[in-house]
Amino acid sequence: MTLRTAALAAGVLGVLLLIAGLIADAQRPPRDVLATADVDTPVVVYSPAMVEFAAQSRLGVTGEGDIVALTARPADADAWLAEHEATEVTGLPQWETLSTTAYEAVEPEPTASPSASPSASASASEEPSPSPSPSGDDEAAEDAEPVDILAETSADHWREQWNGVDRVAVSAADVPVGETLIIASRDGSPLTQTDMRLSREVNDGWITPLIWWGAGLTLVGLIALIFRFIDTRPVQAKLEARRASRGADADETSEPGSRRARRENGELLPDASLDEEPASPSSATSTESAKSTDSAASAETPPSPERSPEDEGGRS
Amino acid sequence: MNARFVAGVTGASALLLLTGCVAEVPAPVTENPELPLKAAVLEPQSDRIAEETHAELEAADSEDDAELLTDRVGGPAVTIRDAQYTLEDDGDGPSPDDLPQATQAVYTVGAEGWPRTMAAVTEPAGEDSTPVVMMWVQESIDDDYQLRQWSHMIPGAAIPAMNGTTEGAQQLTVSAEGLQMTPEEAIDNYLELLREGTDSEFEETFAPDSYRDQLFAARETLTDAASEADGEYEDSIEGDLDNTFVMSTAEGGALVFTPLTVESSFSVDDGIVEISDAQQSLVDGDIEEVAVYDYLDTLVMYIPAADSEDQPAVVAADHNLISISAG
């Protein structure tokens, strides 16, 4: 496999990685998710366990008019809820969905007094329409004082309270541990939706590196592809010719005084050996004379690791 | 075709990877976490209850109208206040009891059922006064806490240590065990002591208190006065268990809040019982030879735990004249 082929293969892989990275980036799941559930009762309940489950999440309820969120001890909440129609949020089966169920009161208090709802109808009947008509009852109902399901009973058991119009949202962290969260529409109209805004962990740290690797490999492949369609032989030939001419020029000239120049001038160069005792200058001269042919030939071969005494003497 | 296949596989792989990117939905919490503050009423709530109670009292006091005592004041407290308004209306009568808003301590129960109680010990209204012990009752989740009785502390008496808001006091019944005597027995025995006087077998059972001392002293004085007029003095004292409420103390004892009715009959022979000017407004009918005084007294009694060396004691009591009739 040539370099060009390998680069082309890398380019194909890079394109695939780039496509995968870009698709993943486009479809990257959001970290913040809103789980919702539709409700149709005037009261929504989050048990202490559900509030703890929500942890740092924000719990919201949507409806019309004044909406109030309250907390109470579970026993007190049960007693209050025993007289009200309520929906309990029970879990999070999927990231975008809350599960709910109709709230079932644990046990109604035997001493519980009748709810105050009769008083509302009584006040309506006490204020008859000034112009009697067949629809007098309806008009009387319209003249009735607004219902406040929270004012119908004591408020002494409520511990915390948040108010909102059309929507109220409470951070689960603000709900005291162990207390039940009750969210109610003040006028008793049905609420429409409850939601939990969550932050979840998304392991998407690989997407950006994937895109960069894909882009890099694609670039390599692209370069290889470009060179496949461009004839570089003239350039290569030109480069080789230039290199050859530079070599020839180097053969013609040698630096004056260098070993090469001395060899070219026929001078004998000393040959050193470490195996023998250092020789006297006279013997060295005779050795040089005897080995002048060999030293000229050894200039073309790599230096031997063995070093002669003459070599050491030459360096001294 | 091949390129489409590769692109499809690539895209599907990316989506598959993404599916694995998202963490699993957290496991649900199946059990409710423990409630750190189990008391039925915490400080903000008890403050609100006390404020609304005093606001209602102030409104009624300003008009001397007990009918304005509706939501936050009820039971014996309305009867007592109504009589005090009547006395004040006359001009010569005393002012209604001063119930200070500043409190030294508030005691609440950790009960999950009803009725529930809340008690508070106020600061003294003045130098010549002792702190007032006030007691509220909530009958059901629908009802507000209502002030049912108040009593001034007996000089020298002390309220035993009570549980805080972490647990709250227990709401006991009048038949609660584990005490030196059940609250019902304690009330019966104390009533017997009040009826019989210092010769009662229960004289030593209960710690000395100024309430019964004053009652005995008044009985002696009125008996002597009636004798001098060839008349007679009698009194009858009854408890009211239906309006009795019991809270546990921190040491296993009990604090009993109970009203008593005292009916004193004073008669003279061949004469007319003279009623003081300050009490004229409470007179019902024409008083002649017999005058019957009706009192509604409020007591707070401490019953120690069975293994305690303390004595049962009345720690707060008020003697409230309600009406005077011809009998």
Please report, for chain B, the start and end positions of each structural domain, with discontinuous segments joined by +.
43-325
Q: Give per-residue pLDDT as tens, A1-27.
A: 678 889 889 999 999 999 988 988 888
**What pLDDT shows up at residue B25?**
84
Cα(A53)–Cα(A92) distance, integer angstroms:
9
Query: Which two tokens mark B113?
Result: 């059922």
Position B311 scores a pLDDT of 96
User: What secondary structure, in 3-state letters, does A100-139 show?
Assistant: EEECCCCCCCCCCCCCCHHHHHHHHHHCCCCCCCCCHHHH
Secondary structure (3-state) at B209: coil
Residue B137 has pLDDT above 80, yes or no: yes
Check residue A1 and give its pLDDT: 63
Range scoring the smallest mean pLDDT among A122-131, A281-290, B188-197: A122-131
Percent of chain A at pLDDT exceeding 90: 43
| Cα–Cα distance, B327 to B325 (Å, whole number) | 5
Render pLDDT for A147-186 as a digit per residue (tens, 0 to 9).
888 888 999 999 999 999 999 999 999 999 999 999 999 9
The residue extents of the domains of chain A are: 3-28+204-226, 32-109+139-199, 237-265, 268-316
Predicted confidence at residue B186, as pLDDT, reads 98
Per-residue DSSP letter, B170: -
Q: Give the per-residue pLDDT at B86.
A: 94
Q: What is the DSSP letter of B176?
A: -
Asked if the Cβ–Cβ distance from B112 to A95 is below 8 Å, we say: no
Helix %, strand %, coil % for chain A, to 5?
40, 20, 35
Please give the pLDDT value at position B230: 92
Q: Residue B29's pLDDT is what?
A: 86
**What rounded mean pLDDT belongs to chain A?**
77
Give B136 to chain A, closest Cα distance, Å: 12
E strand or H helix that includes residue A224: helix A207-229
Residue B83, judged by CB atoms within 10 A of its CB (0-12, 13-18, 19+), counts as buried
**Percent of chain B at pLDDT above 70?**
94
CA Rg, chain B, in Å? 29
What average pLDDT does this structure show over A83-88?
95
From chain A residues 262-291, the ones with a CB under 8 A of any chain B CB are: none
User: Which of B81, B17, B277, B41 shows the shortest CA–CA distance to A156?
Assistant: B41
The per-residue pLDDT for A276 is 54
Residue of A154, A181, A211, A213 to mutate when probing chain B, most B C-beta within 10 A: A154
- Which residue is associated with the tokens 């004289």? B203
Is A153 within 8 Å of B33 when comparing Cβ atoms?
no
For position A295, what pLDDT does the model report? 40
Count of CB atoms within 10 A of residue A86's CB? 23
Number of CB pairs < 8 Å for A and B?
134
Q: Return the residue of A nearest to B10 by Cα.
A: A20
CA nearest neighbour of A35 among A214, A262, A195: A195
Per-residue pLDDT band for B114 (boundaries 50, 70, 90) equals very high
Name the band, by pLDDT with cuts 50, 70 and 90, for residue A269: low
Q: Which has more confidence, B256 or B93? A: B256
Per CB-CB distance under 8 Å, the chain A contacts of B5 are none
CB contact under 8 A, B29 and A116: no
pLDDT of B28-39, one tens digit each? 888 999 999 999
Best of A94, A111, A196 to disrupt the B interface by mutation (most B CBs within 10 Å)? A111
Residue of chain B minimizing CA distance to A199? B23
Q: In this model, does residue A283 exceed pLDDT 70?
A: no
Task: Pick the residue of A156, A160, A201, A207 with the most B CBs within 10 A to test the interface with B by mutation.
Answer: A156
pLDDT in the model for residue B245: 98
Distance CA A307, CA A273 (A): 4
Bigger pLDDT: A144 vs B61? B61
- Using a CB–CB cutoff of 8 Å, tell me whether B12 touches chain A: no
Bridge partner list, A184: A43, A68
Residue-level pLDDT at A221: 92
Chain mean pLDDT for chain B: 93
Find the CB nearest B23 among A16, A201, A206. A201
Six token digits for residue B192? 């017997």
pLDDT score for A40? 96
Check residue B153 and give its pLDDT.
Answer: 97
Cα separations in angstroms, B156 against A19, B7, B14, B187, B198: 89, 93, 83, 21, 20
CA distance A164 to A61: 10
Decide if pLDDT at A258 tops 90. Answer: no
Task: Decide if B23 and A202 are in contact by the 8 Å CB cutoff.
Answer: yes
Q: Give yes or no for residue A111 having a pLDDT over 70.
A: no
Residue B105 DSSP label: E
d(CA A202, CA A305): 64
